[in-house]
Amino acid sequence: MYRGFTKMPHVQYIHTEASESLCGLKLEVNKYQYLLTGRVYDGKMYTGLCNFVERWDQLTLSQRKGLNYRYHLGCNCKIKSCYYLPCYVTSKNECLWTDMLSNFGYPGYQSKHYACIRQKGGYCSWYRGWAPPDKSIINATDP
């Protein structure tokens, strides 16, 4: 578990709708490990097809590095979805997500290989991880 310990320190069950037509998930329990996102409501954890759900072994190296080292650097950044052109960011704390243009959502190349993090001057931008980011700005290492 990466986040949510304050709201839900112990997760015993994950709730989802009964069928895929209601956005319910069908997971192969005890066969695969999963990265699940969702919400906590009334003391219960909920997830579904509208949340990010991926088998752990299907995540890219960039996504695993992002979870462990990078994504938290973008907590003050907002990802703005681009569904059709033209698209623009309207503030310095936004990253423009263009996977929707060619892939009809994730998992596109951008979401598989980049992280939206704060850079110099407080601007947010996509970071691939080739060169180490400016440590004086984001205080990070490139694992």
For 95, phi and psi rounded to 5 degrees? -115, 135
Given this structure, which CATH class describes domain 1-58?
A: mainly beta
Tell which CATH classification among 3.40.50.2000, 3.40.50.460, 3.40.50.720, 3.90.370.10 matches the domain 60-132.
3.90.370.10
Beta-bridged to residue 127, according to DSSP, are 115
Give residue limits of the domains in the chain. Answer: 1-58, 60-132
| pLDDT average, residue stretch 58-62 | 90
pLDDT at 6 over 80: no
Work out the percent of the chain whose per-residue pLDDT is above 90.
20
